[in-house]
Structure formats: C-alpha cells, structure tokens
C-alpha cells in the first residue's frame, strides 16, 4: 500500500514538472516570435518612469504649475499671447517647432529668437498660424547653448520670452542611440521615438512628435492621452491637456477611436 502511494506521488510530481516546463517554453517562444511586442512593452515601461514635471527646467516654476489657472493667455504680463512651452525647456532638434496662442487667432505676429545674452539672432513674420518650425535658412542652434524666443503681435506687448536649451553631451548621445534603435517611419517606430523624447524630457521634440502622430493616425486615442499628460505638466498648456482629453472622450463615446496596438 505504501509503495502504491509513493508511486502516485511521484507520477503527480512528474506531471507538474512537465506542465511547468511546457508553459515556460511557450512563453519563451511567444516572446521570441513577437519582438515588436517586446519592444513596445519595453518602451511603455520606460514611459512610466519619466517625471513629467521635469519638462520644466526652472525649479521656481515647476512647483506651481498645477496651481496656475489654465486658459490664461499671459505669462504674468500684459501680452495677449501665451507661449506653449516650459519657462525653460529642453530640445534635441536644432530645428525645433515652436507653438503659441494669440487671442486674435490669425493676427500677424513676429517671432524673435535671442542668444543667451538677449542679442537678437533671428526674426520672421508669421500670419494665420500659431506654430513655426525653425527654418533651414535661420541661424542653426548650437548644442549645449541656451536661447530665448518670444512672439510679438503688431501693436501689442511681446510675450515674456521662454528659454530653450539644446541638448548636448552624453544626454544627446543617449537620445541619438535610442532613436537609432527605433529608426523607421512605421507607426510603432514613430511612437517609440516620441516616447524616447518624453523619457529624456525633450519638451519641444515630444510635443512635435506626438502632434505629427495624432495628425497621421487620428484614431489612435491613447496618443491623445499621452500628449495630454505632457501638456498637463505645465501651467501654460493645461488648457491644451483638457482639449486633448475631451477630444479623446468624444471619439471613444462615438466609437470612432481605438486604443493603440501593443
């Protein structure tokens, strides 16, 4: 009798071991056969590690961003312009995209860029839009340098300048390596690139990358949510965060959007 019991126990133990090995083998096979999914999971995990308050490099501004009323079109001066950016923000690209809002909407405004000593380096008129990609014929921004930019509406006071720091050194090399590892123009590669900018707190590049993605794939609603998280980290862009979240909610309620693929 004891011998029979021992045999039964051994058989049960052997079956359990085989089942465990089978499950482990299946999991390994799935991970190997879906490298894109594994890469996506890795990027998603990295995204959650970034402290989005770090987009604002000015420590005096960082603590109070969520306490400032959203929707105000000023930086504490008399201008009717808001610069959609950190007070001091980081950029990877030497041709960043600048965003702002003006109460007159399509009014003609002047974009101005200054060096660290507030010497004017570049200016141009912008009409009928509230964004500017720093043009190829403008003086190229230098890595490691700090600049200031503002918008000056005709006949009105210019907005208080925002400062932009161009990434340099080991941080820049790290971003370059990560971008190269996700190089390509497919949808999943582009979202990985956008998340690289978020992880390294490159505000200007992150917003530009997400904005392009949302335009190209308007039904991928998670990207509206992710851009809203970035916007919500700054006082000057909290109204934009509300708009993104409201748009995503409308599309979800109407069944027009979907979550991003894993």
Give the DSSP H or E segment for 89: strand 88-91
Report yes or no: 144 and 166 within 8 Å, Cβ to Cβ.
yes
**Closest of 138, 132, 97, 92 to residue 114, by C-alpha:** 138
Residue range 175-194, pLDDT digits in tens: 999 999 999 999 999 999 99
The pLDDT tens digits for 55-94 are 999 988 875 544 333 333 444 455 688 999 999 999 999 9
Q: Would you state the structure tokens that stand for residue 1, as one six-digit string?
A: 């009798």
Closest CA to 45 of 219, 190, 192, 178: 192
Q: Evaluate if pTM is beyond 0.85.
A: no
- Dmax over CA atoms of the chain, in Å, equals 102
Q: Are 73 and 82 in contact (CB under 8 A)?
A: yes
Q: pLDDT category, 255, cuts 50, 70, 90?
A: confident
Question: For residue 34, is pLDDT > 80?
Answer: no
Q: What is the pLDDT of residues 89-110, one digit of tens each?
A: 999 999 999 999 987 665 789 9
pLDDT higher than 60, residue 33: no
Closest CA to 231 of 86, 67, 68, 74: 86
Higher pLDDT, residue 198 or 46: 198
CATH topology of domain 55-166: Immunoglobulin-like (2.60.40)
CA distances to 36, 39, 92, 188, 189 from 182, in Å: 10, 9, 16, 9, 5
Judge whether residue 145 has pLDDT over 80. yes
Give the pLDDT confidence score for residue 260 in this predicted structure: 54
pLDDT at residue number 125: 95
Mean pLDDT (whole number) for 242-259: 85
Average pLDDT over residues 132-159: 94
Q: What distance in Å separates the CA atoms of residue 154 and residue 85, rounded to the nearest whole number?
A: 21
Least confident of 29-43, 111-125, 147-161: 29-43
Instruction: Give the count of beta carbons closer than 10 Å to the beta carbon of residue 194.
Output: 26
**Model pLDDT for residues 191-201, shown as the tens digit of each residue:** 999 999 999 99
Cα–Cα nearest to 226, from 190, 255, 253: 190
């Amino acid at each position: 009798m004891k011998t029979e019991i021992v045999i039964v126990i051994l058989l049960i133990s052997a079956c359990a071991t085989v089942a465990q090995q089978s499950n482990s083998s299946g999991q390994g096979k799935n991970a190997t056969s879906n490298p894109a999914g594994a890469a996506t999971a890795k990027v998603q995990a990295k995204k959650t590690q970034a402290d989005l308050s770090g987009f604002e490099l000015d420590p005096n501004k960082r603590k109070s961003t969520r306490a400032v009323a959203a929707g105000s079109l000023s930086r504490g001066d008399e201008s009717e312009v808001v610069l959609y950016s950190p007070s001091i923000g980081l950029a990877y690209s030497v041709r960043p995209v600048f965003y702002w809002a003006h109460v007159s909407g399509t009014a003609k405004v002047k974009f101005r860029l200054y060096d660290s000593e507030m010497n004017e380096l570049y200016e141009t008129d912008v009409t009928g839009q509230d964004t500017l990609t720093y043009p190829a014929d403008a003086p190229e921004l230098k890595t490691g340098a700090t600049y200031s930019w503002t918008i000056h509406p005709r006949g009105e006071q210019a907005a208080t300048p925002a400062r932009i720091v161009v990434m340099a050194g080991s941080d820049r090399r790290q971003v370059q390596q990560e971008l190269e590892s996700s190089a390509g123009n497919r949808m999943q590669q582009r979202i990985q690139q956008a998340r690289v900018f978020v992880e390294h707190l490159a505000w200007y590049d992150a917003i530009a990358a997400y904005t392009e993605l949302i335009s190209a794939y308007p039904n991928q609603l998670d990207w509206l949510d992710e851009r809203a998280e970035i916007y919500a980290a700054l006082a000057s862009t909290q109204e934009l965060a509300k708009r993104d979240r409201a748009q995503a909610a409308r599309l979800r309620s109407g069944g027009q959007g979907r979550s991003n693929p894993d």
